[in-house]
Amino acid sequence: MPRPLGLICLVLVLLTSQVTIACGGSDDSGEADSWRIGLEAPLSGDQSAVGKGMLEGAQLAATQLNSDGGLLGKQVEIVPIDDKADPQTGVAAANAAIADGLDGVVGPYNSGVGIETLPIYIKAGLVPIRLTSDNETDGLGFTLQPMTDQIAPVAGQAIADWLGAEKVAIVFDKTEAYTKNVAAAVRSELQKDDVEVVAYEAIKPGAKDYGAEVKKLAGTSADVVYSAVYYPEGARIAKAMLDQKVEAQCLADYGSYDTGYVTDAGIKAAMSCPVVGVPAPDDFEGSQLYVKDFRNDFDSDPGTWSPYAYDSVNFLAEGVKQTDGFDPDALNAFLGKVDGWKGWTGEVTIDPATGNRDPATVVVTSVDKEGNFHVDREWAAAVDAPY
């Protein structure tokens, strides 16, 4: 399935200067000839694997909408907005994209970025379809992603019931809203199950090696080390645990769930440390056609978050079709009442009080010998999950 020309518009933020490269959006008469939907994500930097998967998922959705006549008779453009997983960069990039003209926005992924950029989009009259997971972003648009209060109970149950832990060490990224809050939420879940948290270690992201931190955690009596960090740090922690032959079981948080985790850690280390996440792109029921279309379009497998970005664009498009435009009041009213809409990631029902998907699917995933994530069948059997 060929991609339409002029699909990508790129917003770059260089130091304190903003350079915007625009494409399409209007003709010589000034009348808009396309709908411009921004895709905010970490398109460069340490978490670029996340952004690449999101961007390609959004592009696939736009390609299919356009091949089917477009959206309300106009073509859909996906406008990449690179926040580099950094709030300051995200604010500059969001403002530049809005100034250049947006009709809608999908993203961002990082909650710490979204806390800053989502209000900017909303103030500009846009309805964000976010991929953030921290509950501090409740009510800031809509999301198809699981949230912290949905992730933490699954993680806690996995640690207590599947891994049978009595003592747990938690290590977390102290700089990011999601990782700080999910670490605290998992600790609370474990305490409910009378699991002792013997270490609660804050780290700063960006180090090339976490061997010293892992050695310290290994010196505790923990049965399980839970790393509430994003995938660059999660990969390094998993690798250090393997290299040091730490006896405690390793379990990584949802923030590490991405193909970049496997790339950075190496397959052997990734296999030794399962990750709380969502089903892989080809784990969802009826996913074969979506995966086939993705491979035909990009000549590669979908990224971890490609299905969620794909569904987010189509979810927004459904609202636009049903309300005959991008009016924020009409979109908010319609999307807040969605019940049973279906996409690549399954059935979607929205809680109107938060804009969150409820229920949302959270699983434990493991990495196979080929380096691919899949729902961990042993976990599913242990907790009686329907996967």
pLDDT at 31: 60
pLDDT at 150: 98
pLDDT at 19: 36
Q: With 50 as the cut, is the pLDDT of residue 62 above it?
A: yes
pLDDT tens track for 270-290: 999 999 999 999 999 999 999
Question: How much is the mean pLDDT over the chain?
Answer: 93
Q: With 60 as the cut, is the pLDDT of residue 58 above it?
A: yes
Kindly give the residue spans of alpha helices, DSSP state H, lying in the chain.
48-67, 87-100, 111-123, 148-157, 177-192, 211-218, 231-243, 259-265, 267-271, 288-298, 306-323, 328-335, 377-383
Percent of the chain whose pLDDT exceeds 70: 92
pLDDT at 13: 36
Integer-rounded Cα Rg, in Å, for the chain is: 21
pLDDT at 5: 35
* Domain coordinates in residue numbering, the chain: 10-145+283-354, 148-277+363-383
pLDDT tens track for 19-54: 333 333 434 334 678 999 999 999 999 999 999 999
Measured CA to CA, the distance from residue 4 to residue 361 in angstroms comes to 33
Mean pLDDT of the 161-174 span: 98
Q: With 50 as the cut, is the pLDDT of residue 12 above it?
A: no
Mean pLDDT of the 170-188 span: 98
As assigned by CATH, the class of the 10-145+283-354 domain is: alpha beta
Mean pLDDT of the 83-104 span: 98
Same fold, 10-145+283-354 and 148-277+363-383: yes
Residue 20 neighbours by CB under 8 Å, 6+ apart:
11, 12, 96, 97, 99, 100
pLDDT tens track for 369-380: 999 999 999 999
Q: With 80 as the cut, is the pLDDT of residue 235 above it?
A: yes
pLDDT tens track for 306-335: 999 999 999 999 999 999 999 999 999 999
- What pTM value is reported for the model? 0.91
As assigned by CATH, the class of the 148-277+363-383 domain is: alpha beta
Residue 15 neighbours by CB under 8 Å, 6+ apart:
none
